[in-house]
Structure 1
Amino acid sequence: MSLEFLITSLIVVVAPGTGVLYTLATGLSRGSRASMFAAFGCTLGIVPHMAAAILGLAALLHASAVAFHTFKYVGVAYLLYMAWNTLRERGALKVESDLDARSAAQVAVTGVLINILNPKLSIFFLAFLPQFIRADEAQPLARMLELSAVFMLMTFVVFVGYGLFAASLRDRVISRPRVMTWLRRTFAGAFIALGLRLALADR
C-alpha cells in the first residue's frame, strides 16, 4: 500500500461533500449513535460504485449520455428532496432523543442512497483506483479489492470522526431554536448547492 494512495484517499475523504454534510447534520440533530449509522450508510453507498469501477461498468456509464444523465438527475432530485425535508424539520436535522431500530435503519438507508445516486463516484473510482496498480501487477483484481477496502475503511473512520464532533456540539445547538433555524437553512442551502453542482456536472 503506497503512501501516495493513503494521502490522496485521505484528501478525497476529508473534503466536504454530500456524505460529510449528511453525517454532520445527523450528529447535530440525533447524536453520536445516529451519526455512526449515517457514516456506515454513506460508506456502504460507495460499494456499488467501486464494484462498477472494478467490473468496468463505470466505463459504460461514462460512454452513455442517457444513462449518465438519467442517473444524475435522479441524484439531483434526491438532494433537493433532502433540502426540502431539512427545512420542514423532517430530514437530516430532525431532532430525536432516542434512536430506535426503525430510525437507525432510515438514517443508514438515506446515507446509502446519497452516495448510490451520484454517478460521478463511479467515474471517479474508474479513474482513481487504476492509478495505484502497477502494469506488471500479478493479481490486479485482488489489488483493486484491497485498495477499495482501505478506501472504505478510511471513509468510515473519517465520517465517524465528523459525526462524533458534531454530536459533541448537539446539546448546545438543539437547545437554541434560533441556531437550529439557521442551521436548517444552511444545511438545506448546502444540499441545494450540491444538487446544482451535480446537475451541472459533465461526464
Structure 2
Amino acid sequence: MIDMIPSLTVIATYAVAAIVLAITPGPDMALFVSRTINFGTTHGFMTVVGALTGVAVHTMLAAFGISLLIIAAPTAFFVLKIVGAVYLLWMAVTAIRSGTGLAVTQAGGRTPTLRGSFLAGLGINLTNPKVALFFVTFLPQFVSADDPAASAKLVFLGLEFLVLSLPVVIAIVLGAHWLTDTLLRSERAQKILNWSFAAVFAGFAVTILFAETRR
C-alpha cells in the first residue's frame, strides 16, 4: 500500500504545480465566473462539478495510457517525458506573452438548468485539447518507468490534483465578482499570475530536461 503512494517530495512538488495551474485564468475559470455572475452561485458550483468531472476523466485516461506505455515501450515513455518538458516550457512562454485569459460573457436568453450548467462545465473541460495534452505530458514527469507501482502513483497524483483544485475553484465561485474586477482591471494582478505560472512550469521543464538527458 505504501509503495502506491509517491514520496513526500513528489507530493509536495506536484501540489505546487497543481495549485498554480488551478489559479491560472483560462476557459474553465471564465465559465465558472460567468455562470456565477449571470445565474448565481448554485450554477457556478454545478459548472465546477462538471469541470472537475472532466478533469477526473482526463486524469484516469492519461494514467491508464501512460501505464500501458511504460510496460509496452519504455523508450517511448522517455521520449514522452522530454516532449512534456518542452511543452511545459512552451506553456511558460505563452503565459508571459498572453493576457489574463479571463473573458467573462454576459448572460443572454433564459436561465439554464442546473444540469445544463453541469454539462457546460463538463463539455468545456473534455473538449479542451490543452487539458488532455497537459495531463498526458505532465503526469509522466512524476513517475519512473522502472517503478512497479507507477500506475497506482499516477492515479494518486490525479486524485491529489482534484483534492487541491476543489478549495481553489470554490473560492473562485464565491469571489467571482471580486475576481472579475481584479483580473480585468488590474494589469499588475494579471502579470503576477502569468509570471508565477511561467516561473513554476519553466523551472519544472528545465529540471526535467537536465534529469532525463543525463540518464
The number of equivalent residue pairs is: 138
Give a deviation string over 1:121-159, Cα, whole Å, max 9, x none: 222111111111245533111111110011112223211
TM-score, scaled to structure 1 = 0.59
AA aligned to 2:158 is: S
Paired with 1:35 and 1:129, the residues of 2 have a C-alpha distance of 28
AA aligned to 2:163 is: L
Matches within 5 A, 1:32-111: 32-56=41-65, 86=105, 89-90=108-109, 103-111=113-121
Paired with 2:57 and 2:165, the residues of 1 have a C-alpha distance of 15
TM-score, scaled to structure 2 = 0.56
AA aligned to 2:27 is: T
Q: Tell me the C-alpha RMSD between the 2 structures.
A: 3.1
Q: 1:7 aligns to what? A: 16
Paired with 2:178 and 2:41, the residues of 1 have a C-alpha distance of 8
Runs of 4+ in 1 over 4 A off after TM superposition: none
Q: What is the CA-CA distance between 1:55 and the residue it aligns to? A: 2.4
> Structure 1 residue aligned with 2:148, among 138, 149, 166?
138
Q: 1:73 aligns to what? A: none
Long gaps (5+) in structure 1: 60-82, 97-101, 174-182, 184-203
Long gaps (5+) in structure 2: 1-7, 70-102, 185-215
Paired with 2:164 and 2:124, the residues of 1 have a C-alpha distance of 18
> Structure 1 vs Structure 2: percent identity of aligned residues?
24
Paired with 1:132 and 1:24, the residues of 2 have a C-alpha distance of 32
